[in-house]
Structure 1
Amino acid sequence: MSRFYTIKDNRVENRLFLNRIIAAFLLILLLSAGLVVRLVYLQIVGHEHYATLAKDNSIKIEPLVPTRGIIYDRHGKVLAENTQSFSLELIPEQIPDLNDTLARLQKLLDISDEKIELYQRQRKRQKGFTSTALLIGMTDEEIAKFAVVRPYFPGVDIKTRLVRNYPYKELSSHVLGYVSRINETEMKTLPAAEYRGSTHIGKLGIEAAYETQLHGKTGYAEIETNVQARAINTVNSVPPDQGASLYLTLDIDLQKTAYDALEEFNGAVVAIEIKTGGVLVFASRPGFDPNPFVVGISNEEYQALQASDSQPLYNRALRGLYPPGSTMKPFIALAGLEYNAISYEQKHFCPGYYQLPNVTHKYRDWKKGGHG
């Protein structure tokens, strides 16, 4: 009868077991070291970054838009101001059917398709709970019409805004220019921090040339929000620096005198104070009313201005090219006296033309026979 014997090597088994224990210990040690390194990075190295991310989840920065500066003439008369205006604003999140609401408002207040399209573009840039203006500068009649049916338009309300106003209209249009809505191209080039929350920018004239000074510096408020990004509390705020007011050398009364003197003729009048170089008059006729450009001029109105034979949008005082005519003669005479080229008693006969020395060509006067 055969017998089987099992050979058991306790020494080898103990060594194998010990090796496994060491390997497991090293793996645990390695993983623990990795965990410690990661904790150090999160708590020390990346603390500021992740703390900022965590804060952004609960704190939102809201811009505080500065009030645009006022423009005065040399005597302190207001040429450009900010007036309180009523605007019709919508909060999409509170409106059950936005398209239906817009259609009913369009029919009620006779809103153009252009303004509806403009509102849709602006709305898409905002969050659903943000109030966005559909109409700016509502008339008393429009306010009354909407007030009657207000309960039937949830999420729609009338609010007050400051809107740029030019009281002298066409009289100062080519001097001041105007402000209008910031378009998409301008938004890409403007400083994001300074124009966040701003809707208008100077387009022409003084408004454009002194945009930085008139606009001011935007402030901000740190708003605590909930998980839906709704405002709960204001944590901190830095008030905006209001736009600087401008005092021009322009005299608006003289401006009106010059403008009216042109009567039905198209032309320009510029008057400069000799001692200081200050511009007293800068009139271009015809002008245009810049106020519609502020609230959004219709395509029909703009095309009418462009198609007009009198070209009211053309700044004749700045861009018009006109021969100086006889207005240059006193300056030439003064230069001759200054350099002793002529004297007070010297006289010249005007036969109706002028010839340069040794030149046969005659430069003729407009008056045949001359001025004597």
Structure 2
Amino acid sequence: MKQHFPLKNGQEEKRIYRNRVVFSIITVIVLMLLLVSRYAYLQIFNYQTFTTASDQNRIRLQPLAPARGYIYDRNGILLADNYPVFSATLSRADVEDIDDTLRRLVPVLELTQEDIDRFKSRIKTSKKTERVAIKLNLTENDIARFSEIKHQFPGVKIDTQMTRYYPHGELFAHVIGYVGRINDKELKSIDKDLYAGTNLIGKIGVEKSYEDILHGVPGNESVEADAHGNVLRHLGRKDPVRGNDLFLSLDYGLQMIASEQLAGRRGAIIAMDPNTGEILSLVSSPSFNPNLFVTGISTKDYSYLRDNLDQPLYNRAVQGAYPPGSTIKPMFGLGGIHYNLIDWGTAIADPGYFSLPGDSHRFRDHKKTGHGAVNLHKSQVVSCDTFFYILSYRMGIEKMNTWMRQFGFGEKTGVDLPSESSGLYPSPEWKMRTRNSKWLRGETISVSIGQGAFTATPLQLAMATAITANKGSHVTPHVLRDTKGAKAFKPHNAPDGKIQFNGTAEDWSKMHDAMVDVVQSGTGKGIRTPMYLIAGKTGTAQVKSIAQGKKYNESLLTERQLDHGLFVGFAPADKPQIAVAIVWENGRHGGSAAQLAKPIFDYWLLTRKKNPIVPSGQQISGGLMTAGIKPGELPSGSGILSPDAATPHNQNSASHSNQSNQSNSNGSRANAASSAQAVERD
């Protein structure tokens, strides 16, 4: 059987072939158009973008952190230095698996979980090529272990970075403060470009207040790097601008003297120039070593400082709110003159107590039998409470509040230090707002002698004393005296106003005379000297209240229940050069606190120019340091990593290293219990 095949159709085959050729041509054309379009997109329309991205694979712009400005005292003694330390760093551009790298680095660099958490927080917000510190201040052992196996950690480097060093340790800790690692909260508020490559920021004190001028401006460097971040070639550089140097009003020698007076005690001392408002010394005791915080304080060290009953981290001078006691009597007495309620001839008969009309309750004087006939002058010399009880009854709390606030009580002074307390000058409005109760007449009596709800900081007492010394010229306390650097900044070093006073200049002079007699023959006579005249006022603030009819018995109280001793004063009385405020927690009475003031006055007025106290191996010539430790140069054997290295080192000065081992007082925050019987024992 034969099989028949269809005849070949040449026309159909040509048509199919032609269609296939056309389809192929169209496909090639479309693909070519797509390729040309993509090429145009890459090479023409986005040439700059992709060229930059390509260059970034090998060319990097690395930030250069600026050096922090130095801090000096008024004589040029270096108080805050910069010092290089070794740090382990990496960038996101150089390490693919950061978590794995950190895990393997833990035993090598002895990383803590805190180190890891801090690094991860910072790396999240850093630029891709920015190198972020994993651990600061590497030890020699850390570096040695890493060097042996560094080939296992491509992208991780050991870099040199500048860090802060405080050569005098705890001596200036509360006023200068310290720098520390930038935390999460600070990362949200700082300018990340300004802090590129920087790990440290001011935390407290001057370091925080003047962070913007101490920090400087970062620079950058363009480098060619390989895939592991190793620099192959330097292409260009913009140098960073170092931060301003600060010259403070503090005097190293006076700070040493003041610190010695509080060694082993709890309290605060502030010395001011009443003519300018410059703070000459600011001491809060006990203190702490700020070097511990710079590269990250250990949990053990921080727990000790935080839980210490003495609260060494607490700045008593600026934050401590204490009942001011009789130290406010000169200011309050002038208020009676201002409101024409009394004059210098006004006298009262003091039986040893005062009772409000229609009330049998007795507000006692510290002298049970009274002081007899007392005028304004005598009220200061013997610190007669009854005189001020009567004056406050006549004046009333509203006028008292208006007058005393002119001296800075109940308000922040405006000092150029952070975290200042405003203290409290109470009023009926304050009590209703905070306690939802009416003001009682007896509360006015307590406030008149610096007790009750009235609290003030040592800084406020110093400012009020300076205003009194100035005969009403207002000064704002400050520690910055001058700056030097790229950023223009000029502090104000002069009186900035006058308080409203309806009396005369003679009234101020008479109050000065009364304060002189306090020291010559009154409650502060233990510090009188023939070399110059001191005008002062002692004060005693109760910590534990005394019930009506009970007698103060010191032997029944614990050490922390004893009264606070206070003293304010200025000298020379006829031409004041220095004003001092002292609070000695549980110091028993104001006369004891006055004893601490005498060496401070002596040094400033008698010794400073002839025999100034300076760090070992240094001297002052022409008002500035001429030899000794230079910036960035630690003395031999200083031991920057050692907490004990930062102890003041003047041969005539007592060591302060034991201060942080003293115990704290419930009155350190000094909101001491108000007295059931308002009584002042000077």
- Shorter-chain TM-score: which interval? 0.7 to 0.9
Structure 1 pair 340–198 and aligned structure 2 pair: CA distance change class (3 A)? same
Structure 1 pair 243–135 and aligned structure 2 pair: CA distance change class (3 A)? closer
Deviation at 1:84, TM superposition (A): 5.1
Cα deviations by residue, 1:5-63 (Å, 9 ceiling, x for unpaired): 959584x7766665555554444443333333222221232222211210110112222
Aligned to 2:329: 329
Question: How far apart, in 1, do the equivalents of 2:334 and 2:254 lie?
Answer: 27
Structure 1 pair 30–155 and aligned structure 2 pair: CA distance change class (3 A)? closer
Structure 1 pair 131–23 and aligned structure 2 pair: CA distance change class (3 A)? closer
Q: What amino acid sits opposite 1:249 in the alignment?
A: S
Question: How far apart, in 1, do the equivalents of 2:89 and 2:20 lie?
Answer: 70
Cα deviations by residue, 1:309-368 (Å, 9 ceiling, x for unpaired): 322122111221201111111112223334544323333333333445666544333332
Is the partner of 2:336 in helix, strand or coil? helix
Deviates most, 262-271 or 56-65: 262-271
Question: How far apart, in 2, do the equivalents of 1:309 and 1:284 lie?
Answer: 15
Structure 1 pair 160–44 and aligned structure 2 pair: CA distance change class (3 A)? closer
User: Is the Cα–Cα contact under 8 Å of residues 63 and 219 in structure 1 kept in the other structure?
Assistant: yes
Aligned to 1:68: 68
Percent of residue pairs identical: 37
Aligned to 2:181: 181
The 5-angstrom pairing of residues 93-242 of structure 1 reads: 136=137, 154=148, 162-183=162-183, 186-187=186-187, 190-242=190-242
**Are residue 268 (structure 1) and residue 262 (structure 2) matched?**
no
Question: How far apart, in 2, do the equivalents of 1:166 and 1:370 lie?
Answer: 53
Deviates most, 184-193 or 270-279: 184-193
Question: How far apart, in 2, do the equivalents of 1:217 and 1:367 lie?
Answer: 63
Aligned to 1:109: none
Deviation at 1:252, TM superposition (A): 3.3
Cα deviations by residue, 1:95-151 (Å, 9 ceiling, x for unpaired): xxx999997x99xxxxxx6x6666777888799xx997878386xxxx7xx7xxx79
User: Is the Cα–Cα contact under 8 Å of residues 74 and 247 in structure 2 kept in the other structure?
Assistant: yes
Is the partner of 1:136 in helix, strand or coil? coil
User: Is the Cα–Cα contact under 8 Å of residues 218 and 241 in structure 2 kept in the other structure?
Assistant: yes
Question: How far apart, in 2, do the equivalents of 1:273 and 1:66 lie?
Answer: 34
Aligned to 2:348: 348
Question: How far apart, in 2, do the equivalents of 1:26 and 1:285 lie?
Answer: 90
Is the partner of 1:180 in helix, strand or coil? strand
User: Is the Cα–Cα contact under 8 Å of residues 132 and 197 in structure 2 kept in the other structure?
Assistant: no
Structure 1 pair 168–8 and aligned structure 2 pair: CA distance change class (3 A)? closer
Q: What amino acid sits opposite 1:39 in the alignment?
A: Y
User: Is the Cα–Cα contact under 8 Å of residues 89 and 135 in structure 1 kept in the other structure?
Assistant: yes
User: Is the Cα–Cα contact under 8 Å of residues 352 and 364 in structure 2 kept in the other structure?
Assistant: yes
Aligned to 2:41: 41
TM-score normalized with structure 1 length: 0.74
Aligned to 1:315: 315
Question: How far apart, in 2, do the equivalents of 1:352 and 1:163 lie?
Answer: 61
Q: What amino acid sits opposite 1:202 in the alignment?
A: G
Deviation at 1:193, TM superposition (A): 2.7
Deviation at 1:172, TM superposition (A): 1.0
Q: Which runs of 5+ in 1 are unaligned?
A: 107-112
Question: How far apart, in 2, do the equivalents of 1:135 and 1:8 lie?
Answer: 87
User: Is the Cα–Cα contact under 8 Å of residues 74 and 251 in structure 2 kept in the other structure?
Assistant: yes
**Are residue 59 (structure 1) and residue 53 (structure 2) matched?**
no
Aligned to 1:290: 290
Question: How far apart, in 2, do the equivalents of 1:365 and 1:292 lie?
Answer: 48
Aligned to 2:489: none
Is the partner of 1:194 in helix, strand or coil? coil
Q: What amino acid sits opposite 1:285 in the alignment?
A: S
Is the partner of 2:347 in helix, strand or coil? coil
Q: What amino acid sits opposite 1:220 in the alignment?
A: N
CA RMSD of aligned residues (A): 4.3
Is the partner of 1:53 in helix, strand or coil? helix
Deviation at 1:65, TM superposition (A): 1.4
Aligned to 1:80: 80
Matched length: 345
Question: How far apart, in 2, do the equivalents of 1:224 and 1:153 lie?
Answer: 24
**Are residue 257 (structure 1) and residue 257 (structure 2) matched?**
yes
User: Is the Cα–Cα contact under 8 Å of residues 179 and 201 in structure 1 kept in the other structure?
Assistant: yes
Question: How far apart, in 2, do the equivalents of 1:122 and 1:323 lie?
Answer: 42
Question: How far apart, in 1, do the equivalents of 2:314 and 2:78 lie?
Answer: 24
Q: Which runs of 5+ in 2 are unaligned?
A: 95-101, 151-156, 373-682
Is the partner of 2:342 in helix, strand or coil? coil
User: Is the Cα–Cα contact under 8 Å of residues 137 and 295 in structure 1 kept in the other structure?
Assistant: no
Structure of higher CA gyration radius: 1
Cα deviations by residue, 1:278-319 (Å, 9 ceiling, x for unpaired): 333321111112122224433333333334332212211122
Structure with greater proportional helix content? 1
Deviates most, 248-257 or 357-366: 357-366
Aligned to 1:110: none
Question: How far apart, in 2, do the equivalents of 1:347 and 1:52 lie?
Answer: 88
Structure 1 pair 32–228 and aligned structure 2 pair: CA distance change class (3 A)? same
User: Is the Cα–Cα contact under 8 Å of residues 90 and 155 in structure 1 kept in the other structure?
Assistant: no
Is the partner of 1:270 in helix, strand or coil? strand
Is the partner of 2:348 in helix, strand or coil? coil
Structure 1 pair 356–240 and aligned structure 2 pair: CA distance change class (3 A)? farther
Deviation at 1:223, TM superposition (A): 1.0
TM-score normalized with structure 2 length: 0.43
Deviation at 1:267, TM superposition (A): 0.7
Aligned to 1:299: 299
Is the partner of 1:257 in helix, strand or coil? helix
